[in-house]
Amino acid sequence: MYHWIPFWPDTAAVNAIVVNNLYIAELGVSGLIMVTVVAMMLTFCIRYRKGSATSRADRVQKTWHFEIGWTIATLGAFLVLFVWGAAIYIWLYQAPRGDEEVYVVAKQWMWKIEHPGGQREIDALHVPVNKTIRVVMASEDVIHSFFIPAFRIKRDVVPGTLETIWFKADKTGVFKLECTQFCGLQHATMHGEVDVLSGPDYARWLTGQGVHESLAEQGEAVFRAHGCSGCHGDNSTVHAPSLAGLYGTYVHLQDGSVRLADEAYIRDCILNPRSFTVAGYPPLMPDFTGQLGEDDLLKLVAYIKSLAKQESAQ
Amino acid sequence: MSVTTVERGPAAEPAAAFSAPSYLTEENTVASWLLTRDHKRIALLFFASITFFFFIGGFAATLMRLNLATPGGLLQPAVYNRMFTMHGIIMVWFFLIPSIPTTFGNFFVPLMIGARDLAFPRVNLGSWYVFNLSGLVVLYSLVMGGADTGWTFYTPLSTSYADGYVFAAAMAVFINGFSSIMTSLNFIVTIHRLRAPGMTWMRLPLFVWGIYAVSVVMLTATPVLAMDTFLLAVERFLGVGLFDPNHGGDPLLWQHMFWFYSHPAVYIMILPAMGVVSEIIPCYARRPVFGYAGMTMALMAIAILSFFVWAHHMFVAGISIYSGVAFSLMTFFVAVPSAIKVFNWTVSLHKGSITFDAPMLYALGFVLLFTLGGVTGLMLATLGIDVDVHGTYFVVAHFHYIMVGATVSAFFGALHYWWPKMTGRMYPETWARFAAILTYVGFNLTFFPQFILGYLGMPRRSYTYPPEWQSWNLLSSAGASILAIAYILPLLYLGWSLFRGRKASANPWRATGLEWATRSPPPAHNFERTPVVTLEPYCYDPERDTYVTQEGVPHAG
């Protein structure tokens, strides 16, 4: 769409088209400001150079109405840009459930990708075209930043929490995946590629990975190994909140606050349960800080989310 | 309001033959320099220190641009990472932040308000020693191998993972802050208390307003940086878990505290530069600055609003969407007074009688580069676009346009404009014009390609990049070599002019400020008698080519 503009990056997602439009508008406003300033400066410098015959009489004495004029003009233009940019931001940063999900673990200096079906890859991300992909990201060490230039999306992956982002690629092909937050010695080589495949190609790719156990199934094993099932399992007699149907609902906590049970909330509850005691339940759960790596945490999150799916299916 | 012990009277005839020696020749033992309490000598001491650090930081930049000339690079990754970190730390805290305030501010604020010295001369000297102490610590960090975190010290990389001399670098920044605080406190008290009779607030030259605004920001923001770097050091040494999530800390706490200082710090770098340009443009356009009152209000508005925009560095960092929106709005607000200033400077050329001496070329270059830096700043303030270009070379290009393009241009403009007053010698005009134009060309060649690279998606702080980006990087490196020449040139011809330059008269530019009412170079006590101010600054008349100084002395064309 914008290929006639020189030096334009690939545009390969619905997100990118929306950002492109704003970018063009902003280039226009910036160009207008620059041209105004340069034109005024050049004109004045030539007309009023020392020794030119142009009259200097009747200089503007009252300046305030000019100043109010360009205050209002710039403020008006800026507010339009602000609202436009903010609307896109809110849209970009509220990840919908999505048609597909992928889990990303960032570590010095690689992107580890885990698909819900259990397929794993490193520094490569295979996704289907024309599907909304929800990306759930964790960092094992420092802050990284997940950036796909052709999709115009980016989000820091901050250790200690889960971040989500989404995109919907509208073109097949291979695009860059980068880290844009300095993350140590080999930051510059922490990049990979995003392979956008057609639906059938993607299905073929998934089955070609030779995986037997989905991420949720792996999570269930972790769930049993760490004794979670003892309290949160179906047959448990301990008074613990049920996890079935939890994901995506609003949870009332003991301290009166209400939290959306998204991936970050589930992770927080596992690691730091005393801060998220559910209203009406005793604070019995031990905290699991330091006992679970980001990989296992994501598997657990995938498992607990799968419980939600079963519930809503019934 | 002012020191009035000296007899008041009509201004002394400039360039009158006084027998008293100048501040440069009065006494020339080593002790008389190192223990001086004269603001003018301290300004030169600061000038020596920051020039040294400018070239150290510039050397690091040279290595970086050499490395980026080819995709594969030249330096070891560890070396490159340390070079950009030290480049940032040294340029920000050891050149840009002190640059204009400690040199030209120190030298000219007392002269421009008609004072004998700053309010606290010993504190002023102390500030230079504290600055040099912090300079020694940062040099230690550099010589031992440097820090490897980026100048922003993001946690938990800086607290738990980086293995360079992060602690020393953070301590250098910590100590450096006290120098900022001492200097800014001194300016605030001086400007409040030591103005000459008749020098009301609305008659202050805009440079003094710029220094006043920046001092307010420095004095209020720097303590936060001190706490911040102190906490970083504590966590790195003791692992107390303030910022590292593995110990129960929050990485974003660091970013909030860091940017709470470091965003105002951007304005610390630009406000004095705005003041300089507001002096130069009226003088060379021979007409009053357009909208003096608006200019002062814009300066103060920027200073105050600068405290409410820090999280625009964190739009993609995991702050809540709502705070992202709020900080974006505040950022657009702070752009409004900046836009007013740009338009006012430009219109200050209208119906002038313009000459294009080197200071004016630097000032016009400042306005253009600041405007380009400003409009790209608008893009970064726009949330939807920031998500795309954050952390790429687009950001690098943007802040270099402001901090280097604008501030360093103003620094060189000030250096040329006030050189005759500081040294008593004229600089060679042709060479200076050549250097000013070369700066402009070299700067744009270096940094404009980086906007394109950034939009194409090249991440900053990378020692290597894909081959398809080489042409833009090569162009940038080529521009950097031109820029390096443009920065070294003044060192040569200004050095030459110290010995061979034509002797300067008291007021070679026919300017209106009080600093031109005394001799070049001024005597140690600045004025033979305390000036009495009767007029606003910039009373130039382009129609008759006359001007009236702030003391009310008319001069024919």
Please write the tens of the pLDDT for every residue from A89-136: 999 999 898 899 999 999 999 999 999 999 999 999 999 999 999 999
Asked if residue B488 belongs to a domain, the reply is yes
A124 touches A196 (CB < 8 A): no
Asked if residue B15 belongs to a domain, the reply is no
Contacts of B371 in chain A (CB under 8 A): 33-34, 37
Q: What pLDDT is attached to residue B247? A: 81
CB atoms closer than 10 angstroms to residue A252: 12
**What does the pLDDT average to over B391-416?**
96
The boundaries of the domain holding residue B309 are: 36-555
Q: What pLDDT is attached to residue B5? A: 41
C-alpha to C-alpha distance for A294 and A107, rounded to whole angstroms: 10
B335 touches B378 (CB < 8 A): yes
Asked if residue B27 belongs to a domain, the reply is no
C-alpha to C-alpha distance for B367 and A36, rounded to whole angstroms: 13
Q: What pLDDT is attached to residue B7? A: 41
Token pair for residue B465? 């990049």
Q: Is pLDDT above 80 for B14?
A: no
B363 touches A15 (CB < 8 A): no
Q: What is the DSSP string of B173-230?
A: HHHHHHHHHHHHHHHHHHHHH-PPTT--GGGS-HHHHHHHHHHHHHHHHHHHHHHHHH
pLDDT band at B469 (very low <50, low <70, confident <90, very high): very high
For A9, which of B364, B374, B457 is closest by C-beta distance?
B457
pLDDT band at B8 (very low <50, low <70, confident <90, very high): very low
How many angstroms separate the CA of residue B271 from the nearest CA in chain A?
19
Please write the tens of the pLDDT for every residue from B177-193: 999 999 999 999 999 99
How many angstroms separate the CA of residue B480 from the nearest CA in chain A?
21
Q: What pLDDT is attached to residue A3? A: 60
Q: What pLDDT is attached to residue B400? A: 97
Asked if residue B3 belongs to a domain, the reply is no
Asked if residue B338 belongs to a domain, the reply is yes
pLDDT band at A287 (very low <50, low <70, confident <90, very high): confident
Contacts of A160 in chain B (CB under 8 A): 245-246, 250-251
* Domains: count for chain B: 1
- B233 touches A at CB < 8 Å: no
- Angstrom CA distances, B265 to B104, B268, B272, B303, B310, stand at 18, 5, 12, 10, 10
Indicate which CATH number applies to the domain containing B78.
1.20.210.10
B360 touches B435 (CB < 8 A): no
CB-CB under 8 Å, A40 with B384: no
Q: What pLDDT is attached to residue A1? A: 53
Inter-axis angle of helices B251-285 and B409-423, to 10 degrees? Answer: 50
Asked if residue B190 belongs to a domain, the reply is yes
Asked if residue B142 belongs to a domain, the reply is yes
C-alpha to C-alpha distance for B342 and B366, rounded to whole angstroms: 10
Asked if residue B12 belongs to a domain, the reply is no
Domains of chain A: 1-39+67-212 (2.60.40.420), 215-313 (1.10.760.10)
How many angstroms separate the CA of residue A234 from the nearest CA in chain B?
32
Select from B118, B205, B196 the least CA-distant residue to B532.
Answer: B196
Contacts of B315 in chain A (CB under 8 A): 89
How many angstroms separate the CA of residue B135 from the nearest CA in chain A?
25
**What does the pLDDT average to over B279-283?**
97
A59 or A140, higher pLDDT: A140
Chain B, 129-168: which have a CB under 8 Å from a chain A CB? 148-150, 154, 156-157, 161-162
CB-CB under 8 Å, A19 with B384: yes
**What does the pLDDT average to over A223-231?**
88
Please write the tens of the pLDDT for every residue from A241-260: 888 888 888 999 988 899 99
CB-CB under 8 Å, A41 with B150: no
How many angstroms separate the CA of residue A145 from the nearest CA in chain B?
8
Q: Is pLDDT above 70 for B551?
A: yes
Please write the tens of the pLDDT for every residue from B523-533: 999 999 899 99
B458 touches B465 (CB < 8 A): yes
Antiparallel, parallel or unpaired: β A100-107 and A132-139: parallel
Q: Where are the alpha helices (DSSP H) in B424-531?
A: 429-456, 470-500
HSE-CB of A165 using CA atoms within 13 angstroms: 23
CB-CB under 8 Å, A23 with B157: no
Contacts of B381 in chain A (CB under 8 A): 81-82, 85
Q: For residues A200, A203, A209 and A215, what is the CA-based torsion angle, rounded to 10 degrees?
A: 160
Q: Is pLDDT above 80 for B405?
A: yes
